[in-house]
Amino acid sequence: MGLTLAEKILKAHLVEGEFKKGSQIAIRMDQTLTQDATGTMAYIEYCAMGVPRVRTEKSVAYIDHNTLQSGFENADDHRFIGSVAKKHGISFSRPGNGICHQVHLERFGAPGKTLIGSDSHTPTGGGLGMIAIGAGGLDVAVAMGGGTYYITYPKIIKVELKGKLSPWVSAKDVILEVLRRLSVKGGVGYIVEYCGEGVKTLSVPERATITNMGAELGATTSIFPSDENTLEFLKAQGREDVYTPLSADPDAVYDKELVIDLSQLEPLAACPHSPDNVKPVRELAGMKIDQCCIGSCTNSSFVDMMKVAYILDGKTCCPSVSLSIAPGSKQVLSMISQNGALTKMIDAGARILESACGPCIGMGQSPNSKGISLRTFNRNFEGRSGTRDAGVYLVSPETAAASALNGVMTDPRTLGDMPQFKLPEKFYINDNMIELPAPESEMDKVEILRGPNIAGYPETKPLADSLSVPCSLKVGDNITTDHIMPAGAKILPLRSNIPEISKHCFTVCDEKFPERAKQLGASVIVGGENYGQGSSREHAALAPLYLGVKAVIVKSFARIHKANLINAGILPLTFKNPEDYDKISQGDTVEFSGLREAVANGRDIVAKVGGKEISLDLDISERDREIMLAGGLLDYTRENLSK
């Protein structure tokens, strides 16, 4: 029986565990990436482990999230990250160099390699034929220190692509179609692997758009083969030496299969407030809009920008629409500046933003109240834009640009004939904004620069044997990490200061939660299905940890958030009977006894609420049980390093 492409790479990097579906395996990580919103804490954790020099093939620290410097906090964090990178062997991508996923795809990604990043959209690298996985910062810190990354051996979904995209239909429409069919929960426990004749019609940046938004499926990662298109892209980047052809065996066996005829697709839009709430653009055509934002790690490649410039050329954006454009990297910005495309955008009335995440994470460009915003981004969760009552639609750059001109949702197929947009034979290469680390012989001379906003890791303790704690909050289904730990210009600068950022924890759901949880001292949280979907931000676990949350009891978890809870030493419990969700109310006292023995031996955990017993499942690996007993991954890692 042959292997899938994902299985081939996983097997080549297997360090520990049985290569069997559903079992836990440990894989070696070749590369790591961080960004500044999660990176500061990741480097605080890395320094706490006491490993002097990173042990990966390549580790890169990117500054792309907190680039709006309205106070000292972000600048201090950037200075801290830069000094850690210089001292410990990490390349440092300076502010303005671009969004981590796009720059990594352009300058560092390589077929067949493994990559772990402290951002949920790290699977962008799958467009190059990598196993690229988003994780919490502590998992990335451990990987930088030479540790392995543990995952459950995933199932594989085969997505066979047939045919070729029609004019004005794009890669964004492909992944929106996958989301429409599978939902935001459909990829949990899976790797999504693309194959078929249609793959050959997609460039690496187009493939990266698709793997990027695979994160919205809840998938472990997504991957494309490495073929002649991959070689063409790497040659254009001057990196053909890292190319290797990779594909699945002809007799590979998959756990689920999906067939998509590219020629049958049409422009699509994800409607508020979920990436899987997908409708054809033609059904929404004529809807008045207020804003268009083009960019993000999903759709800001060179070809994306050239399509937008072509559509806007010689025209003017509708007066009632605010149009902003953010090229994804300095490379792209330089190229469209050199060839005149940038001038076409500016002349059309577009507001040009820096090469950073910006509006995607609520860092500026919030729409007007009750505004309708079209965005080429990857998430449209309620309030993520910075405007609570805005309606955000996820669309392709083609749809966004056409709509910006007309002031209403517009099907780009009305634009007439589409010219052929090709990758350049050679990209403009200038890596002057990537600082290399100090030589190992000089690392001891480098000083770590810590500002007053940089606090330590929250205090952790070994798991208690018994607990009697109140339920401090009860929430419903599809709670995202944006609900738990909001982003935005006011909150993101506090990512290095857990005591301060915890004051905003769950305020989207209940403004009084932080104060209530702190007063209670210790508590549990109860939730529904797909709890913790969205970003990889470990702050959604660290803030509750600081506020005294000992356990989270839900119907089901999103993968990365569950891992982050384990890393923080918070029990991730699921109802054995989902109907028991109704037996716990906010304010009820939840009692546990014999916890350490139950966790150590993999037994069911029983909670008592108002005299009733509720059976709970702790579905984690043997290693995760040791982490829980130790009080979290940082304590567990320190213990093992000392041994």
Question: Using CA atoms, how far apart are residues 101 and 582, in angstroms rounded to an integer?
Answer: 41
Q: Is 351 a catalytic residue?
A: no
Burial group, residue 241, by CB count within 10 angstroms (0-12, 13-18, 19+) = exposed
User: Cα-flanking dihedrals φ and ψ of residue 197, to 5°?
Assistant: -60, -30
Residue type, 290: D
Burial group, residue 157, by CB count within 10 angstroms (0-12, 13-18, 19+) = buried
Question: Using CA atoms, how far apart are residues 129 and 226, in angstroms rounded to an integer?
Answer: 5
Question: Using CA atoms, how far apart are residues 54 and 347, in angstroms rounded to an integer?
Answer: 46
Question: How does 179-212 read in b/e, with b if 16+ C-beta sit within 10 Å?
Answer: bbebbbbbbbbbbbbbbbebbebbbbbbbbbbbb
Q: Is 535 a catalytic residue?
A: yes
Identify the active-site residue in 222, 296, 535, 556.
Answer: 535
Q: Which residues contact 432 (CB under 8 A, 6 or more apart)?
A: none
Residue whose C-alpha is closest to residue 149's, from 536, 603, 436, 440: 536
Q: Is 65 a catalytic residue?
A: yes
Q: 10 Å Cβ neighbour count for 422?
A: 10
Identify the active-site residue in 495, 537, 539, 625.
Answer: 537
Question: Using CA atoms, how far apart are residues 36 and 366, in angstroms rounded to an integer?
Answer: 21
Question: Using CA atoms, how far apart are residues 289 and 279, in angstroms rounded to an integer?
Answer: 16
Place of tokens 């793959």: 199
Q: Is 638 a catalytic residue?
A: no
Which two three-digit tokens encode residue 127? 């467009």
Q: Is 537 a catalytic residue?
A: yes
CA distances from 273 to 178, 269, 270, 451, 633 (A): 17, 11, 8, 37, 34
Place of tokens 């070689």: 231
Identify the active-site residue in 379, 483, 495, 539.
Answer: 379
Identify the active-site residue in 65, 101, 104, 539.
Answer: 65
3-state secondary structure 286-309: CCECCEEEECCCCCCCHHHHHHHH
Q: Are residues 320 and 353 in contact, defined by beta-carbon separation less than 8 angstroms?
A: no
Question: Using CA atoms, how far apart are residues 210 and 215, in angstroms rounded to an integer?
Answer: 9
- Taking each helix axis as running N to C, give the angle between helix 36-49 and helix 539-546, from 0 to 180 degrees, rounded to the nearest 10: 60
Q: Is 379 a catalytic residue?
A: yes
Identify the active-site residue in 64, 411, 580, 624.
Answer: 64
Residue 389 gets which letter from DSSP? T
Identify the active-site residue in 76, 77, 119, 580.
Answer: 119
CA distances from 283 to 171, 226, 262, 268, 373 (A): 20, 36, 20, 9, 17
Question: Using CA atoms, how far apart are residues 542 and 501, in angstroms rounded to an integer?
Answer: 10
Q: Which residues contact 199 (CB under 8 A, 6 or more apart)?
A: 161, 207, 224, 225, 227
Which two three-digit tokens encode residue 230? 């991959």
Strands annotated E in 318-384 = 322-325, 351-352, 372-375
Active site positions, annotated: 64-65, 119, 379, 535, 537
